């Protein structure tokens, strides 16, 4: 069993799972104690939701090579499905409605993945746009989905798991963190399994994959299903844990692009990359905006500041992509190797 | 080089964390967190409204030295009318001490804030818009759709159309098309139009224009086929001038289009040029700069070089005047609360009490220099709208002219519907209905 992401550093100092375990220990043990409500509500919750969506899209685009612009639609499908399961099935536990929501998103993913059997690259991307517009249209058109709410906005239900309320900022953070951890772990197992290698084979050369006996049709649809499942659950986190309210417009094409940028900037075909990318996309604009407001808030009004932040952000992303086209993951790995090297040579 | 940029990013985030710790407010300051929007498709509304609001707060600070000596402060956080940004701004600004009230001017953001502000006990003002059933103070103690909630607005528009047709009984058999903005704000009135149509015997067809609404050819072709007696334009931002221009293109008479309260500004009609001539729209606050309070702002605030509008010709425009009226309502609520709790920085809950006792009759409005700018308001603990009056204005190509008296919406008709919706919300969320005694229990620190 050869590892897919081969690590060339010849000196395995610590087992591979050390860093994730330490990170998790920090996230569960330390962050809830020291974090402010701003940290949870404005940074960590959107980071977790978008990071998970990035993991989902990375399975489809990064590993299986199928470009999709419908991520926001699958998020919306997950969010609205979870809302409706929770509302309409008495006594269904929260976890149950989340899993069912993921399955609904997966089903929609398979449906809109069908064109991938004939289409590739940009053509496939355009056809997944259909998912984006169709889902948003359906959610707006049929008010049943939003329980006939006058304005089409749904309120998230109370979060509780076996009677234990998770409505506070920390509770919602732990709820989101747990789901993200479990799904990320499963995604990691998936991409290092035979199925994951099938994905990569199809991405790298579909004809060759077919010749060595990989069922291309089944594998592509499986990639769509798994990816949509994860993105759907990310939508539930976005709706239930982060914003606590949802309107279909919150899942527009911009969100799909945002998720695509997350995996491009973070690093394609990398689970960690999705989280690196999400961190950059979520935190960096906030950091810029706060820095701008802090330094120049008295001089310019918020409109001018916001415009200049966009310019700075855009320029930095272009610069970054030129200097590091393989994404933050490559940057991280190189930095780590250099540090290790420096440490060894002393 | 790439390593450098990592360090840069780290430094930036460190700077951010430092700036989280904002300095605490002075003992005698009252703070307004402004979730404004000055860029994006709705910037015209945002700059006008927040410009007027800030101008009025400045007027109170410069002319009176604050409210009974308590200085008003504020800062702005750009939302671009987007919900996530609004939530981020909320979390950012709420750490500032002495917050009086939130005024996001966005239904989507307001919806996302309801749970949060209720937990934090700070009022949320959605002047002329918002969630209709938040009018019911028994269920929504901290939400105030002041002056005009969407249902009252709808009732006012239907009453106006009836008066044009010669009486409410003449509505029978008429056909009205509602062209609405594809957003929570736009959809809010769908059920009430259906209900009024049933009650008065007219037919209604409601057509959505997807956000932001810069392409409406197919909608207007549908309207041409439907041949309605009136079209109600429930637009926002760029959707409005496009609607008026497209109406001319398909040959629909503009004087049979009635705009709602977010389709009634100069920014909506000027870009449409001649297509807007004869267009009528509802408003709660007349446009123009002849009102004493607007004159004082020109003299005191703009005279001192502290005016907020870059384009001086927008002084006295509909959005600017709405911002001023919103300023008056916020400041007077603080004044009411100060009379009860003392001339000091108030808690959010004390300001909530102030809003619930905000009663400005026409005489008081005149004393504030706002006679004819808006009519009156009468908020109580269970009626958070406050029975605002509406009027209609027609665009003559250069300015808005008032073409009706102050009209009262049919509150008695609407109240049971609002209560039913609010009670359903309370049941869904497990909220206990508030009583008058609960409303008088105020958290003072």
Convert the pLDDT of each residue in A273-288 to its tens digit. Answer: 999 999 988 888 888 8
Cα–Cα dist B88/B12, whole Å: 18
pLDDT tens digits, one per residue of B295-304: 999 999 999 9
The domain B24-148+288-389+419-437: what is its CATH number? 3.40.50.2300
Task: Tell me how crowded residue A325 is: count the other CB atoms within 10 A of its CB.
Answer: 10
Token readout for B189 is 């009135």
Token readout for A129 is 């746009």
The 3-state DSSP class for residue A86 equals helix
Token readout for B248 is 């001319």
Per-domain residue ranges for chain A? 28-345
Please, which pLDDT band fits residue B203 given cuts at 50, 70 and 90?
Answer: very high
Cα distances from A141 to residues A136, A145, B359, in angstroms, run: 8, 9, 41
Rounded average pLDDT over A20-32: 91
pLDDT (0 to 100) of residue A99: 96
pLDDT tens digits, one per residue of A139-158: 888 888 888 777 778 888 88
Cα–Cα dist B328/B336, whole Å: 12
pLDDT tens digits, one per residue of B250-292: 999 999 999 999 999 999 999 999 999 999 999 999 889 999 9
Residue A52 has pLDDT above 70, yes or no: yes
Which residues contact residue B359 at a Cβ distance below 8 angstroms, ignoring those fewer than 6 apart? B377, B378, B379
Å between A142 CA and nearest CA of chain B: 12
Token readout for B121 is 């006990």
* CA atoms B272, B274, B275, B278: torsion sign: positive
Residues in A 119-148 with any Cβ partner in B closer than 8 A: 140
Which residues contact residue A21 at a Cβ distance below 8 angstroms, ignoring those fewer than 6 apart? none
Please, which pLDDT band fits residue B26 given cuts at 50, 70 and 90?
Answer: very low
Location of each CATH 3.40.50.2300 domain in chain B: 24-148+288-389+419-437, 151-283
Higher pLDDT, A90 or A171: A171
Q: How many residues does chain B have?
A: 445
Higher pLDDT, A231 or B185: A231
Which of the residue ranges A94-98, A248-252, A273-277, B227-231 would you say has the lowest mean pLDDT? Answer: A248-252
Token readout for B309 is 């509008």
Q: Which of A150, A286, A305 sits opposite B188 (nearest CB)?
A: A150
Please, which pLDDT band fits residue A6 given cuts at 50, 70 and 90?
Answer: very low
pLDDT (0 to 100) of residue A289: 81
pLDDT (0 to 100) of residue B3: 47
Please, which pLDDT band fits residue A13 given cuts at 50, 70 and 90?
Answer: low
Pick from B214, B258, B211: which is nearest to B82 by CA? B211
Question: What is the DSSP secondary structure assignment for residue B36, as one 8-state letter?
Answer: -
Q: Which of B88, B111, B187 sits opposite A286 (nearest CB)?
A: B88
pLDDT (0 to 100) of residue A193: 94
- Taking contacts as CB-CB distances below 8 angstroms, the residues of chain A near B153 are none
CATH domain A28-345 topology: ABC transporter involved in vitamin B12 uptake, BtuC (1.10.3470)
Higher pLDDT, B165 or A249: B165
Å between B132 CA and nearest CA of chain A: 9
- Taking contacts as CB-CB distances below 8 angstroms, the residues of chain B near A151 are 107, 111, 131, 184-185, 187-188
Bridge partners, residue B407, by sequence: B390
Which residue's entry shows tokens 């009209």?
Answer: B407
Predicted-complex ipTM score = 0.83
pLDDT (0 to 100) of residue A319: 85
pLDDT (0 to 100) of residue B10: 52
Rounded average pLDDT over B374-380: 95
Cα–Cα dist B150/B197, whole Å: 16
Tell me, letter by letter, the H, E, C secondary structure of B125-145: ECCCCCCHHHHECCCCCCEEC
Residue A11 has pLDDT above 70, yes or no: no
In CATH terms, the superfamily for domain B151-283 is Response regulator (3.40.50.2300)
Task: Tell me how crowded residue A342 is: count the other CB atoms within 10 A of its CB.
Answer: 9
Residue B400 has pLDDT above 70, yes or no: yes
Query: Which alpha helices (DSSP H) does chain A contain, by range?
Result: 18-25, 31-34, 37-38, 45-57, 71-88, 94-113, 121-141, 169-191, 194-204, 206-211, 216-236, 253-266, 271-296, 302-323, 328-345
Which of the residue ranges A35-49, A119-133, B8-22, B38-52 would you say has the lowest mean pLDDT? Answer: B8-22
Residue A8 has pLDDT above 60, yes or no: no
pLDDT (0 to 100) of residue B16: 47
Residue B25 has pLDDT above 50, yes or no: no
Residue A25 has pLDDT above 70, yes or no: yes
Residue B52 has pLDDT above 90, yes or no: yes
pLDDT (0 to 100) of residue A290: 81
Q: Is A114 an interface residue toward B (CB < 8 Å)?
A: no
């Amino acid at each position: 069993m050869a590892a897919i992401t081969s690590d060339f550093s010849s000196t395995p100092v610590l087992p591979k799972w050390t860093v994730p375990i330490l990170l998790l220990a920090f996230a569960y043990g330390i962050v809830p104690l020291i974090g402010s409500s701003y940290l949870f509500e404005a940074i960590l919750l959107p980071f977790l939701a978008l990071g998970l969506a990035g993991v989902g899209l990375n399975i489809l685009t990064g590993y299986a090579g199928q470009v999709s612009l419908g991520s926001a639609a699958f998020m919306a499908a997950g969010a609205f499905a979870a809302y409706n399961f929770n509302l309409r099935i008495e006594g269904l536990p929260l976890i149950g409605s989340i899993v069912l929501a993921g399955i609904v998103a997966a089903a929609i993913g398979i449906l809109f993945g069908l064109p991938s059997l004939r289409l590739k690259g940009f053509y496939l991307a355009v056809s997944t746009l259909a998912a984006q517009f169709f889902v948003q249209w359906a959610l707006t058109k049929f008010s049943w989905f939003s329980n006939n709410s006058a304005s089409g906005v749904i309120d998230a239900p109370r979060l509780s798991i076996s009677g234990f309320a998770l409505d506070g900022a920390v509770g919602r953070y732990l709820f989101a963190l747990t789901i993200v951890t479990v799904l990320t772990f499963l995604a990691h197992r998936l991409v290092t399994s035979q199925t994951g290698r099938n994905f990569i084979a199809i991405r790298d050369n579909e004809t060759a994959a077919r010749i060595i006996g990989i069922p291309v049709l089944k594998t592509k649809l499986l990639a769509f299903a798994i990816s949509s499942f994860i993105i759907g659950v990310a939508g539930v986190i976005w709706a239930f844990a982060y914003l606590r309210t949802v309107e279909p417009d919150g899942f527009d094409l911009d969100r799909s692009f945002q998720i695509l940028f997350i995996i491009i900037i973070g690093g394609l075909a990398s689970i960690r990359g999705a989280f690196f990318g999400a961190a950059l996309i979520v935190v960096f604009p906030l950091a810029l905006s706060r820095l701008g407001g802090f330094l120049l808030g008295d001089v310019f009004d918020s409109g001018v500041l916001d415009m200049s932040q966009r310019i700075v952000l855009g320029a930095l992303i272009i610069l970054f992509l030129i200097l590091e086209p393989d994404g933050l993951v490559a940057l991280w790995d190189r930095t780590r190797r250099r540090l290790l090297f420096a440490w060894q040579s002393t | 080089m790439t390593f450098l940029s990592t360090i840069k990013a780290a430094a930036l985030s460190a700077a951010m964390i430092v700036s989280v710790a904002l300095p605490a407010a002075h003992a005698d300051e009252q703070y307004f967190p402004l979730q404004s929007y000055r860029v994006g498709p709705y910037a015209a509304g945002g700059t006008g409204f927040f410009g007027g609001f800030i101008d009025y707060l400045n007027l109170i600070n410069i002319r009176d030295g604050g409210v009974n000596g308590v200085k008003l402060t504020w800062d702005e956080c750009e939302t671009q009318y987007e919900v996530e940004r609004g939530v981020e701004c909320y979390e950012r600004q709420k750490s500032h001490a002495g917050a009086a009230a939130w005024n996001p001017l966005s239904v989507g953001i307001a919806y996302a804030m309801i749970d949060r502000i209720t937990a934090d006990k700070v009022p949320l003002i959605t002047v002329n818009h918002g969630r209709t059933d938040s009018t019911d103070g028994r269920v929504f103690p901290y939400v105030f759709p002041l002056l005009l909630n969407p249902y009252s607005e709808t009732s006012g528009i239907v009453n106006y159309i009836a008066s044009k047709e010669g009486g409410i009984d003449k509505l029978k058999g008429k056909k009205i098309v509602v062209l609405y903005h594809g957003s929570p704000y736009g959809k809010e009135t769908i059920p009430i139009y259906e209900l009024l149509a049933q009650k008065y015997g007219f037919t209604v067809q409601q057509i959505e224009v997807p956000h932001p609404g810069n392409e409406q050819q197919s909608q207007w072709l549908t309207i041409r086929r439907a041949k309605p007696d009136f079209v109600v334009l429930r637009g926002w931002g760029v959707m409005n001038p496009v609607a008026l221009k497209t109406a001319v293109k398909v040959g629909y008479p503009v004087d049979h289009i009635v705009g709602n309260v977010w389709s009634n500004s100069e920014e909506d009609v000027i870009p449409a040029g001649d297509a807007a001539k004869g267009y009528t729209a509802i408003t709660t606050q007349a446009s123009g700069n002849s009102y004493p309070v607007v004159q004082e702002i020109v003299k005191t605030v703009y005279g001192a070089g502290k005016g907020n509008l870059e384009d001086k010709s927008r002084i006295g425009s509909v959005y600017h005047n709405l911002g001023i009226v919103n300023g008056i309502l916020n400041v007077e609520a603080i004044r009411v609360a100060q009379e009860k709790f003392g001339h000091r920085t108030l808690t959010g809950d004390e300001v909530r009490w102030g809003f619930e006792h905000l009663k400005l009759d026409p005489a008081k409005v005149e004393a504030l220099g706002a006679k004819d700018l808006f009519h009156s308001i009468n908020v109580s603990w269970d009626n958070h709208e406050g029975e605002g009056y509406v009027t209609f204005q027609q665009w003559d190509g250069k300015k808005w002219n008032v073409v009706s008296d102050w009209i009262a919406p049919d509150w008695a008709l609407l109240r049971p519907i609002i209560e039913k919706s609010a009670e359903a919300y309370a049941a869904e969320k497990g909220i206990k209905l508030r009583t008058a005694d609960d409303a008088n229990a105020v958290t003072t620190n």
